[in-house]
Amino acid sequence: MPINTLPAYRIGIRLGLIWLVFLLLMTAYWLRLDSIHKDQLLEAEEHAQLRAKQAAHALSLQMHALLLNIDFVLEHLAEHWLDHDEKVFRKLIDLAQQGVFKGSLDLIAVTDKKGNVLFNSQAQNEYSPHQLSIANRDYFKQLTQQDEHRLFISSPIQNLVTGRWTIQFNYKLIVNGEFAGVIIAAVSAEHLSNAFKTVYPAEDDVVLLTLNNGQYLARTHAQEIALDKKVPSNREFIQFPNKLSGHYSVVAPIDGIERFYAWRRIPDFPVVLSLGLGKNKVLAPALKATQASKRQNLLGSILLTLAALWISRLIFIKAKQNRSLLQSQERFATLLNRVPSGVLLEDENNIIVTVNDNLCALLNLNVTPADLIGLHHQELLNMLQPDCVSWLPEPQFKPKQRQRNEVIDQAGRTLEIDWVPIKHHARFLGHVWFIQNITARKQKEQELLALATTDPLTGLHNRRSFIEFLQEQLNLSQANAPGALLLLDIDHFKHVNDTYGHPAGDLVIQHTAQVIRTSLRQNDFTGRLGGEEFAALLPHTTLPQALQLAERIREHIATTPIITATGTINITISIGVALLYGQDEESVREHADQALYNAKKSGRNCVRAAQYSMDAIST
């Protein structure tokens, strides 16, 4: 049996099984893909470790050569010191500074067998035997032992004056087989780290030099932080002192960067060189390739899933087509009868296809919808009352967009009439008329408009409505047309509220609004700007006329007491007058504000006009 002819539940079961197999295969594919990606990352890590080992070996050879050179220089200096030729000794120091040490040699010092400093390359004068002693230093004590290597490398020391870190290379002087003193060469730690920083400048990578006990000697990055510290004691070269090389992966406590490390001991010296390659940097190409592979496979999986979903959807749609068609017809009939609008559906030849009962009622037709189906639009118009014919004009052309109109019938109802074209691509298939009684909505809109534009306490226009009307009048007016703006402010209104209470204050506001309203002409526009401040727009009014009207308002308010439950209140008002036209809204309000300010400044209970030229006043 074809799947599209099966019952819906049977189709669901079969598609469910197919989807189960599909998801299992998809899961297996992604598990295999994840395994491949992990193998690729593991291989990249192995290559990184190998590269680190090879580079660490090369760097250790370089460091071994440098340490041998330092050892040779100190041995050579020792020979000339024992020859008691100080001039040649100083010349050799200068040559060493320019050669092996490349300007990084801080000082050369020589002691006798008791630790007294006999020579200091930084001193201006020679030291007496007891001026300075290093006899109590650990490295000096170790060098006095007979079995100690002639060259001893001490921990880094920071110069208290310059703040510069140095590493002291201490060379044992032997005369006739006996310990005779020490030559000390203090070399800048930067000299050792700079040799590697040019090769590994990025902070992700690091080269570090330590003693066998883990004490830092040099570090290409964050060296200032590291030189007074040791590496953690769990490092491989500390735990296994007989092991010559190795590798590990760890997060560095100095900078928090995870790296692949390879280390090697420097032959003949108690020094370990370690090279750390930043894990994120090393694995970046492999991770990038892995992410690209995941994105591509995810996109393919999504497309495949979407295709499967689309096929499943098509199967369901085809299986339900007949039943859906019948259900749609029933729903359409129910909707047509329940919709609050009158509906008139016509084909491309203006033949009526569908009508509902509401249309017959709104058009006052004493027929049923079935009587109208099949009629031409003109035949319908012939059945309408004369005043209704203009509501449904037969289009002389086929508009592309919706057409809307509002009419008022003889009963005073407001009807909204929509004409909506029906198209399929570029083909016109007909149109539909919607007729709806919107009388209640119109009334509600008027109520909302009143609420949005009216001050609820006084019934005057609110601030926003007044400002909009002012701007509108300025836009419509001519530059020299007469007009004025009044700004009115109740004097000492806060005292009224504090003395008589806010309910009495509201009565004062209402009384003032009533006086302003009754004092103005029919075409004047009033508003409450907020609190105790009012405004009046006086079109076609000269400045003298505006001043006269403002004075009448002021006098009326000043001579009319307000009787409230808490007592009789006498108030006054200050008024500022500004010319209206020939200015922008901001300029008009600024002039009026300044005039009101002058009225307040003049003692209140007065009218003041903005300052203008005589030509403006006489206009």
Q: Which residues are catalytic?
A: 532
Instruction: Locate all alpha helices (DSSP H) within 339-431, ordered by sequence.
Output: 357-362, 369-372, 377-383, 386-389
Between CA 570 and CA 496 the distance in angstroms is 9
Nearest CA among 598, 619, 601, 602 for reference residue 610: 598
Residue with tokens 């006739």: 176
Between CA 12 and CA 352 the distance in angstroms is 42
Say if residues 554 and 511 touch (Cβ distance below 8 Å).
no
Tokens (6 digits) for 114: 């008791």
User: What are φ and ψ of residue 379, in 5° steps?
Assistant: -65, -35
CA dihedral 84, 85, 86, 90 (to 10 degrees): -130
Between CA 239 and CA 475 the distance in angstroms is 90
Between CA 270 and CA 151 the distance in angstroms is 10
Edge-to-edge order in the sheet of strand 258-265:
216-219, 206-211, 271-278, 258-265, 245-251
Longest dimension (CA), the chain: 142
Encode 330-364: b = buried (16+ Cβ within 10 Å), e = exposed: eeeeeebeeeebbbbbbeeebebebbbebbbebbe
Between CA 22 and CA 25 the distance in angstroms is 5
Between CA 76 and CA 139 the distance in angstroms is 21
Between CA 561 and CA 512 the distance in angstroms is 11
Q: List, as one string, the DSSP characters of 388-406.
A: HHTTSPPPSS--SS-EEEE
Nearest CA among 38, 62, 101 for reference residue 275: 62
Q: Which amino acid is at 453?
A: T
- Provide CB contacts within 8 A for 228, sequence distance 6+: 156, 158, 216
